[in-house]
Structure 1
Amino acid sequence: MADQRGGGARDVVLGVEEEFHLVDLESRCAVPRVPELLDELAALDADAFAPELKPSIIETNSDPTASLTDLRADLVRLRRMLTSMARTRGLGVAGAGSVPLVDGSAMGITESPRYERMRDEYQLLAFEQQICGTQVHVDVPDRDAAVAVMQHSAPWLPVLLALSASSPFWHREDTGYASSRTLAWHRWPTAGPPAPLQDAADYDALIDDLLRSGTMSDPGMVYFDMRPSAHQKTVELRICDASPTVDGVVLIAGLARALVVHGVRAHTEGRPQPRYRPELLRAASWRAARSGLEGDLVDVTGRELVPPSRAIRLLLDHLRDDLEDAGDWDEVSDLALDALARGSSAARQRQRANRGGGLESVVDMLVAETSGAPDESAEERLPTPETAAPVLLGEYHPPQYDEAVDEAGHVRPTYAWLVANLERIGPAGLLAHERSRDAEQRARSMFFPQPDDPERLFPLDLIPRLISRQDWDQLTAGLVQRARTLETLLQDLHGERACLRDGVMPREALRWLPGPGEASTLVPAGATRALISGLDLVCDGEGRWKVLEDNLRIPSGIAYAMADRRVVRSVLPELQAPEGVVDSDEGPAMLRAALLSCAPAAAGDEPGLVVLTEGPHDSAYFEHAMLAEEMEVPLLEPSGLRITDDGTITVAVSGQRIDVAYRRIDEEKLFASPDADGRLLRDPLQAAVAEGRFALANTPGNGLVDDKAVYPHIHALTEFYFGEKPLLDDVRTYFCADPDQRAHVLDHLEQLVLKPVDGYGGAGIVIGPQASAAELDAAAADLRANPAAYVAQETILISTHPTFTGTELAPRVVDLRAFVVLGPEPGVLPTPLTRVAPADSLVVNSSRGGGSKDTWILR
């Protein structure tokens, strides 16, 4: 390799060593037949091929080059030479960290004094090295720079491992890891993350210590994930599995060179070397070996778990300047995003094995990919909506606007990568994942109990719903505006009642008005009443979002949305959005901040916050418990409160003062409950609220404005209070207390949806187009007798979404519940809950058989 010169990143030379398994094309087993190929290969290119420790593994060495284009060409040349020579002997070449089938005769080692010494010294470690890697050599100015590069690159190396992971199988068994090679490799005493070293002298001293200790028998046995060469001015990347595709190698090589250029620049500029705990670096490598591109990875610099899409984006952002300087940005970034969409080789191998072909089929796939020849069943394995005969969507015929499939039956571009991944998994794979889903939900106690089924799991369909960032940003602005309108209406009705005085909203829209002494009138002026609202939206037959309902009492769903994400990520790690998904786990921090903003001034810098629940028999108890845990606050039933003699509200078991309570219990049930000492809570709680010593969120009385009779007037109220046009549409709604509107409803009842103004959970709804004549007659009679008790809405074509039925995907009606917080910084939690109606139904409520989906807000 040539020295790195001053011409910039474009002139930095690199080369690649690839290791390959030789397999018998009939048995598909790795076989120890490398020695019989070497002489003929040497005659073709004396420096390009070399034996390895195992006689079933051969190494190729590319020519040094400064061009990824030239590197690609040389890698293809060497692979063709090797595969052509192997094929004449009934052998195939497989580029992968491991192959699933190994002939017993391959368990020996290559005849060589060095290898025999290693066998005698390391025993099992030598015998089990039936593994292959990809090593990238990159020029550096000197060995001090090489050591600096190791330190600056260390936190990013696990991401390269995840990109290359290609060894899920070991001796016919699925290891559960994407890179089982890493497990075997890290058993060497000198393998793993680079040691924290200052310079070449420090490195050489370490090598001397290891040699004197007998830990390794020669300097070539330094198996750090990155190391300086012992003979050349290069640094060598060693962490990666072998790759079945040339694209995979070029991607790793381009990233490796950028890491080296970045580290050399940092060294030249005198920047201090970063310091990371070796244990964290090793843990990050383990996580990458476990996950590949199908599970979370460790962001070492941020010290947190992140989706692989986020980890790769962080790496690309970190190296962008260096990649652009080398002229590699377009190629490397495209290859990285393609790798995310395609998934790791480990995942593809598992999918092939699970599609019925067995491990022999996996070997065939690896041999085909390594040679560059088309795999005979590649279309089945990697379908795209345009070219592959769909299985899951084969009979998909949406009756109305569908969010994933257009009216011509074509998958919409936003969903193309998702559908391709789902088709690879197939119906049998999804069924298996559903079993894992159920086990995961039970382990998390993710129940939504019903009277006849106290351990009913919260229904979750594994097919995620996608919302573009543009849509989400527009929804956020409209949702915050609507929540502000509802909050202002609450304040107005507890104040001068200008909306009634000026005729913007009729008095008949309200079932009551707050009177003196009622709990809602005791809330101090200026306190936020509807701190957390749950606004239900639907997408109509033209793809436009509309608000369907407002929920301001104790809206449920935040934790279920978070848990849906965690379950789907756990059981379907193959699904990763190419550009990443907004993190739903940020929701509890936003919620906590909003709740704490309500604390009385006397609470000081550390207000006491609790979540109040009715108890385990509440159908949403899972949510109460999860939110309390995520916000790191106590979860209390009313009996867990204690009122002290001076009226202070405390946690009974600890005596901790409570300043804010997130109320997840009906207000009347709370007030009618006794505290730990048997004292009714009504008077002390209401007094504490009135005196500004205690905050309840949401405040009592919010049901005043989330009844459906208020809904038709929200647009007018937005203009009345703020002089703004509403940003979100709503569904045409008729206020049945108005005689003219009621007459229209009675004349068109078979075309409308009739809803009780105080109904919830889908109870009492009459859907005209689906109702019988007798049901319509009964509804009309009740409407005439109680006109103020109802509203009617136009039936709209609500969007559908693919939902797994056990054999295929079928369109099901969906809505979206979004959660708005009105703290100092109003916003929408990144935890919207998609609810799914059963077949042939428009009702999405869980209590009426509805389900849910994970909702991905795309970055």
Structure 2
Amino acid sequence: MGAELTLGVEEELHLIDLQSWQLSARAPQVLSRLDQTWYSAELQRTTVETNTAVVRTLTELREELLRLRKGLVEAAARDGLGVAAVGTAPRSTFSDFELTATGRYGRMQEQYRLLVDEQLICGTQIHVGVSDRDLAVEIMQRVAPTLPVLLALSASSPFWNGQNTGYASIRTTIWQRWPSAGTTGELSSAARYDQLLDDLIASGVIADRKMAYFDVRPSSHAPTLELRVCDACPLVDDAVLIAGLFRAAVRAAELDVLAGRPRVQQAAPLYRAGIWQAARGGLSGDLLAEGEHPRPVPAPVAVRSLLHRLRPQLEELGDWDEVTDLTEATLARGNSADRQRAAFVEHGQLDDVVRQVVEETHGAAAGESPATPVLRRYRSRAGDEAVGLNAQPRPVYREVIEHVRALGPEGMAITGAARDAWAAQRHLAYVVAGPDGTREQPFEVDLLPRMIHQHEWTQLEHGLVQRARAIECFLRDVYGEQRIVEDGVLDRAAVVGAPGWEDRARRLPAGVVRAPVAGFDLVRNEYGGWRVLEDNVRNPSGVAYGVAARALMDAVVPGMPRPPALLDPATAFERLRSTLLARSRPGTRAVLLSSGPASGAWFEHRKLADGAGLLLAGVDDLDVRDGVVLHRASGDPVGVLYLRLDDELLDLRDRTGRALGEEVFEVAAAGGVVLANAPGNGIADDKAMYRSVPEFIGYYLRERPLLESVPTYRLSDESERRAVLERIGELVTKPVDGYGGAGVLIGPAASAAEVAARRAEIAADPANWVAQEVVDLSSVPSWNRTEATLQPRRVDLRAFVYVTGTGAADCHLADVALTRVAPEGSLVVNSSRGGGAKDTWILVDRGADAREGDTGVRAGR
């Protein structure tokens, strides 16, 4: 038989210094203590390769891998080293590379330079016995469409050169730079394969046959077909699973050859696309389904589809039960990339990630047993902040989730009733208009908090302060000298006369702070990265709701375990007060000017005024005399007006019809009163202007943005509009001047009729619309009353920066954030669209920054 279907594995393993958690170039010393039958050197001195004996069963393969790892771990321990079977060592940097001293490797470094110097990567090579080389070449081409699934299962290299790359397997991208990596293209025989190698060697591009680094190839040194595309796997069972699937795929291809079934040759660009897709998303994104015209499907669907397609061969080989169990276990816990990202999120330290992969490499084949009971009914998903793919609560959420489990459905029902009563008594609600007038809609706070780690909050603080400074600089400039227009950074038509522009705002005094209260909507994607979704500098709301959510939780669930370092959101009141008073004249009062009880955020207006010590007033409570704004009831002069209006200040009239808004503005223009969040600010939080905020940061601050924006299309641009009109069903479209979720259409959730209607609206008035790529929001558990269980719900975050100037020291991120929660199955979090909220627990130890220093990783770009 041409395919003996034996198994063997070569593993490349990093050596890790257990004190510094960095790579160690002591492979020669370690290898001197090991049997060269099983262990050998690699290109880099930080790596050792193991070679198993030839085996016939998956059980034997597992035992071999464990045997060789044990031997290497024991030998490395004598030098204080550990071993990590991982695509890239999480803390590796370019400077860690040291070449193994052989003539061949020296020649390679001389020829390929940086390409060699960046090869701090490790893979798993799986050999399946195929002694007939013509058959091996034929099988090689037939199994190619299965390789992206195997790569996704193995993906273990999200971190590289100190960065979170955004890839599940950055090793693949590094490896594919070799001129002989990837696919061979169509070949008719082993002779043609050999001629290809001869031609490559003759070209001088590769030095020898060992440099045939194709993703799958006839082995250069054994009668096998060799799979080379996979990352090294920290858990032995992941490598065993891939070996089982690959062997079954080889057998399936052999049977097709014997039956004379024609080969369907996949186009090389589609093959490369499938490999790239697997490297990018791993098991958390989409994979391309097998077939002549592949389409993206969720990774678990692609994995299970391959498993069931190979069932006859797996049963023939006696592997079906074991491979099925291994498949479900891997899908449940995620691949190594998923686990590494989860480890990093806990504290933002790469040392934690390195420690995890070393422990997995040294440990049991299947990894450690779960620390706590799984949430069996929880619909686990990639990107859940609190629960892993294995339905295990993440460490920071364990005590909270256990508290909820201990209460049980009956206890949660009682607690939910207490919450509703507490909220009703305090009118924790927002006001909505109906056919019979306005009414209060309860602002529902879920009984599980959302937690933000210290390193994440620090990242957000730096990025949002930067963004608030740039927006304040922009507002001062466009209503002043308009340098950004004169220098050609923005077109004049995109500013003057655009939605939100108010020409009279140019009359306010130079140097006035125009946006002392800035709100930012943020989302966290399935890879753990934060993005700014919207800027709000007209009328940002949510501070009082965030404070109320904490007060509710303290009253209703006082026994829920609290972390020791937890910011108090109520400190935002004093921060608001000091911000408003910073530019007001001594002896004057600060007033929150509200549209009154019919305003949607009337609850907030009352609570902010009470908490920050502001006078709460409507237009009829003010007067203007002799160039001074007065509070009618007290007669006190007003130094600052915090505008929380549903209408524009300049349109305000009192009950007598007096144009009091214009009079107030005239006083502000003369410097007699400060307007907090002044008229004209809408130009900065216009949805189309949002796209230009990174340019503001570069232009005004001479810095690179610290937080990324969501890719946004400005539809007044003809080329962007044409592209968007073809993709309405894939994008989020929204009016440039919209707020509260009004007018937002999420394409993937829309009907064909809704998509067609939106396309017509955009075509009729393109400048009124923007489009954004869909962000698959992260999720946090919420209590589902109907099912009496925890279920994931999508969330966003609104954070607030208080601004007294344009310097970094003049801007402060408030200790409060509002987590907004989408309804079941929705991506829209706005309260007016059925969303709720969570108490946001910001876990910050104020002294920790000085003690811990840098997080050790930079945000991927």
Residues in 1 aligned to 2:677 and 2:640: alpha-carbon distance in whole angstroms: 10
Residues 762 and 594 of structure 1: CA distance in aligned 2, closer, same or farther (over 3 Å): same
Q: Post-superposition shift, 1:476?
A: 0.6
Residues in 1 aligned to 2:492 and 2:540: alpha-carbon distance in whole angstroms: 25
Match of 1:647 among 616, 627, 631: 627
Match of 1:528 among 513, 522, 533: 513
Match of 1:620 among 579, 582, 601: 601
Residues in 1 aligned to 2:803 and 2:488: alpha-carbon distance in whole angstroms: 27
Match of 1:431 among 397, 409, 413: 413
| Aligned partner of residue 462 in structure 1, secondary structure | coil
| Aligned partner of residue 534 in structure 2, secondary structure | strand
Residues 790 and 683 of structure 1: CA distance in aligned 2, closer, same or farther (over 3 Å): closer
Residues in 2 aligned to 1:669 and 1:488: alpha-carbon distance in whole angstroms: 22
Q: Which residue in 1 is equivalent to 2:721? A: 742
Per-residue Cα deviation, 1:666-707 (whole angstroms, up to 9, x for no partner): 4525642227x7632133212210111101111111001211
Structure 2: which amino acid aligns with 1:579?
P
Q: Identical aligned pairs, as a percentage? A: 41
Structure 2: which amino acid aligns with 1:705?
A
Residues 848 and 514 of structure 1: CA distance in aligned 2, closer, same or farther (over 3 Å): closer
Per-residue Cα deviation, 1:709-734 (whole angstroms, up to 9, x for no partner): 01111112211111101000111111
1:814 partnered with 2:795: yes
Residues in 2 aligned to 1:517 and 1:843: alpha-carbon distance in whole angstroms: 30
Aligned ranges for residues 273-352 of structure 1 at < 5 Å? none
1:397 partnered with 2:379: yes
Residues in 2 aligned to 1:462 and 1:517: alpha-carbon distance in whole angstroms: 43
Aligned ranges for residues 98-113 of structure 1 at < 5 Å? none
1:502 partnered with 2:481: no
Q: Post-superposition shift, 1:740?
A: 1.4
CA contact (8 A) 2:517 2:801 kept: yes
Aligned ranges for residues 704-853 of structure 1 at < 5 Å? 704-806=683-785, 807-823=788-804, 825-853=810-838
What is the Cα-based RMSD across aligned positions, in Å?
2.2
Residues 681 and 778 of structure 1: CA distance in aligned 2, closer, same or farther (over 3 Å): same
Residues in 2 aligned to 1:389 and 1:739: alpha-carbon distance in whole angstroms: 55
1:631 partnered with 2:628: no
CA contact (8 A) 1:733 1:794 kept: yes
Aligned ranges for residues 551-700 of structure 1 at < 5 Å? 551-599=536-584, 603-604=585-586, 606-644=587-625, 646-666=626-646, 668=648, 671-674=651-654, 679-700=658-679
Structure 1: which amino acid aligns with 2:588?
P
Residues in 2 aligned to 1:715 and 1:518: alpha-carbon distance in whole angstroms: 24
Q: Post-superposition shift, 1:560?
A: 0.5
CA contact (8 A) 2:624 2:630 kept: yes
Aligned ranges for residues 119-134 of structure 1 at < 5 Å? none
List runs of 5+ in structure 2 lacking aligned partners.
Answer: 1-367, 845-861
Residues in 1 aligned to 2:597 and 2:369: alpha-carbon distance in whole angstroms: 46
Q: Which residue in 2 is equivalent to 1:199? A: none
Structure 2: which amino acid aligns with 1:428?
E
Residues 821 and 517 of structure 1: CA distance in aligned 2, closer, same or farther (over 3 Å): closer
Structure 2: which amino acid aligns with 1:740?
S
Q: Post-superposition shift, 1:853?
A: 0.6
Aligned ranges for residues 190-229 of structure 1 at < 5 Å? none
Q: Post-superposition shift, 1:618?
A: 0.9
Residues 733 and 516 of structure 1: CA distance in aligned 2, closer, same or farther (over 3 Å): closer
Aligned ranges for residues 186-265 of structure 1 at < 5 Å? none
Residues 786 and 683 of structure 1: CA distance in aligned 2, closer, same or farther (over 3 Å): closer
Q: Which residue in 2 is equivalent to 1:270? A: none
Structure 2: which amino acid aligns with 1:689?
A
CA contact (8 A) 1:466 1:856 kept: yes
Q: Post-superposition shift, 1:456?
A: 2.0
Per-residue Cα deviation, 1:126-150 (whole angstroms, up to 9, x for no partner): xxxxxxxxxxxxxxxxxxxxxxxxx
Aligned ranges for residues 380-395 of structure 1 at < 5 Å? 386=370, 389=373, 393-395=375-377
Residues in 1 aligned to 2:538 and 2:838: alpha-carbon distance in whole angstroms: 24
Match of 1:415 among 356, 375, 397: 397
Q: Post-superposition shift, 1:508?
A: 4.7
Per-residue Cα deviation, 1:548-581 (whole angstroms, up to 9, x for no partner): 0011101110000000100011000012323231
CA contact (8 A) 1:385 1:416 kept: no
Residues in 2 aligned to 1:856 and 1:439: alpha-carbon distance in whole angstroms: 23
Q: Post-superposition shift, 1:852?
A: 0.6
| Aligned partner of residue 830 in structure 1, secondary structure | strand
CA contact (8 A) 1:469 1:857 kept: yes
Q: Post-superposition shift, 1:514?
A: 10
Q: Which residue in 2 is equivalent to 1:348? A: none
| Aligned partner of residue 812 in structure 1, secondary structure | strand
Q: Post-superposition shift, 1:518?
A: 4.0
Aligned ranges for residues 128-167 of structure 1 at < 5 Å? none
Q: Which residue in 2 is equivalent to 1:125? A: none
Residues in 2 aligned to 1:811 and 1:508: alpha-carbon distance in whole angstroms: 44
Structure 2: which amino acid aligns with 1:741?
E
Q: Post-superposition shift, 1:609?
A: 0.7
Residues in 2 aligned to 1:405 and 1:829: alpha-carbon distance in whole angstroms: 28
Residues 516 and 853 of structure 1: CA distance in aligned 2, closer, same or farther (over 3 Å): closer
Residues 582 and 719 of structure 1: CA distance in aligned 2, closer, same or farther (over 3 Å): same
Per-residue Cα deviation, 1:373-399 (whole angstroms, up to 9, x for no partner): xxxxxxxxxxx9946545xx3311134
Q: Post-superposition shift, 1:739?
A: 1.4
Q: Post-superposition shift, 1:519?
A: 3.5
Residues in 1 aligned to 2:472 and 2:758: alpha-carbon distance in whole angstroms: 33
Structure 2: which amino acid aligns with 1:642?
D
Per-residue Cα deviation, 1:99-120 (whole angstroms, up to 9, x for no partner): xxxxxxxxxxxxxxxxxxxxxx
Residues in 2 aligned to 1:385 and 1:533: alpha-carbon distance in whole angstroms: 46
**Number of matched residues?**
468
Per-residue Cα deviation, 1:395-439 (whole angstroms, up to 9, x for no partner): 111343101012222211221222222222222212111111111
CA contact (8 A) 1:532 1:819 kept: yes
CA contact (8 A) 2:652 2:661 kept: yes
CA contact (8 A) 2:563 2:843 kept: no
Q: Post-superposition shift, 1:484?
A: 0.9
List runs of 5+ in structure 1 lacking aligned partners.
Answer: 1-383
| Aligned partner of residue 440 in structure 2, secondary structure | coil
Residues in 2 aligned to 1:506 and 1:415: alpha-carbon distance in whole angstroms: 48
Residues 851 and 707 of structure 1: CA distance in aligned 2, closer, same or farther (over 3 Å): same
Larger Rg: 1
Residues in 1 aligned to 2:500 and 2:687: alpha-carbon distance in whole angstroms: 21
Residues in 2 aligned to 1:610 and 1:766: alpha-carbon distance in whole angstroms: 37
CA contact (8 A) 1:531 1:697 kept: yes
Per-residue Cα deviation, 1:73-124 (whole angstroms, up to 9, x for no partner): xxxxxxxxxxxxxxxxxxxxxxxxxxxxxxxxxxxxxxxxxxxxxxxxxxxx
Residues 679 and 821 of structure 1: CA distance in aligned 2, closer, same or farther (over 3 Å): same
Residues 506 and 429 of structure 1: CA distance in aligned 2, closer, same or farther (over 3 Å): farther
Structure 2: which amino acid aligns with 1:411?
P
- Compute the TM-score of the two structures, normalised by the length of structure 1: 0.53
1:483 partnered with 2:463: no
Residues in 1 aligned to 2:369 and 2:424: alpha-carbon distance in whole angstroms: 35
Residues 805 and 725 of structure 1: CA distance in aligned 2, closer, same or farther (over 3 Å): same
